[in-house]
Chain A
Amino acid sequence: MSLSKEEIERYARHIMLKEVGGPGQQRLKRATAALVGIGGLGAPAALYLAAAGVGRLILIDDDAIALSNLQRQILFTTASVGESKTGRAAAALVALNPSVAFDQRQTRLGPANAEELLADAEIVLDGSDSFSTRFAVNAACHALGLPLVAGAVGRWDGQLGLFASGLTKAKPLSQRLPCYRCFVSEEPPQVETCAAAGVIGALPGVIGAAMALEAVKHLAGAGQTLAGRLWLFDGLRLESRTLVLPPDPACPVCGDHSAALIPHRKGVCSGPNAP
């Protein structure tokens, strides 16, 4: 997939980076990324992925734009309150980069439809607003063998990881990478959402842009991604730390005795050769 003269001009500042270059930009053009949640994190991530020339973006969100979203969800405008997030996002992103293809999925991702929604992606970015959605995205990414860039925010704190367990599941434990559940092992009780606890507006901009950065690095093959590590950001002090995240051998998703090792139900019971 070669680059046109116009594309070479549009992406000139990428192409001059030795870690991206023409081959890296072509990899971005061939790639499909899925974004779960087009809100505080998904909006800036989608803007940077579209601007970067990622060929196709799958936008997954069932929500409509609310006035209280606009303090941080900078893809949307006051005039678009009440409209669907995926629809307004696609319109704004097409204006930014008409060569990117957008799939709008105005639906709520859950365990029943996660694999179907994500199956076409090469990488998944999760900026959703609940742990149950995050768990469904993580399980699907592990099963499908997809890398997952998961960002999260609350109040003044951000957390980011690139979870690549799906890419290493056939390897011995010493060479495996962790999944999201190796970090958050079970759904935390009574954890406050952004709606209940608040979030400072620029914080999802920092974390969402970093999500796009990690996705672009992974797709272009540049540098060292956060796979096997976590980035913790403290906006009140403007400090951040990067920690090592080992895989948990007892992880319910990617551990040795997990359900993920059992053939997937869909393949066993509902495929064309179902009994």
Chain B
Amino acid sequence: MQVTINGETRVARQGDSVETLLQSVGLVPQKVAVERNGEIVPRSRYAITMLADGDRLEVVQFVGGG
């Protein structure tokens, strides 16, 4: 199946989770939030949120300046 992450198409396997995807692209979960189809995925649900064909994911880098 295919998903897009930050606008780039990637092939994902059935059963891949958001956590699997973050690991495969080498992102540090403490520095980012993950948006899936317009909704932030709660951090505690990365491992149980399974990817579906056509999912659009965006990685949101935290900013903290004022």
Contacts and interface: CB of A to CB of B under 8 A. Distances in A.
Interface residues of A, number: 47
Q: Is the interface of A mostly helix, strand, loop or mixed?
A: loop
Contacts of B38: 243-244
B65 A129 contact: yes
Interface stretch (A7-15, A36-44, A93-101): A36-44
B66 A248 contact: no
A246 B64 contact: no
Interface in B7-66: 28, 30-31, 33, 35, 38-40, 42-45, 60-66
A75 to B, nearest CB: 13
A190 B31 CA distance: 9
Contact of B42 (A42, A126, A159, A246): A246
A70 interface: no
Please classify the interface of chain B as helix (H, G, I), strand (E, B), loop, or mixed, using the class held by over half of its residues: mixed
A152 B66 contact: yes
A29 B30 CA distance: 41
19 contacts: A39-B66, A126-B66, A129-B64, A129-B66, A131-B62, A154-B64, A154-B65, A158-B63, A159-B62, A183-B33, A184-B64, A189-B28, A190-B31, A191-B63, A193-B64, A243-B39, A244-B40, A245-B39, A246-B40
Given A130-B64, A131-B64, A249-B42, 15 more contacts: A40-B66, A129-B65, A152-B66, A153-B65, A159-B63, A183-B33, A188-B31, A190-B31, A232-B60, A243-B39, A248-B43, A248-B45, A249-B44, A251-B42, A251-B44
Interface of B: 28, 30-31, 33, 35, 38-40, 42-45, 60-66
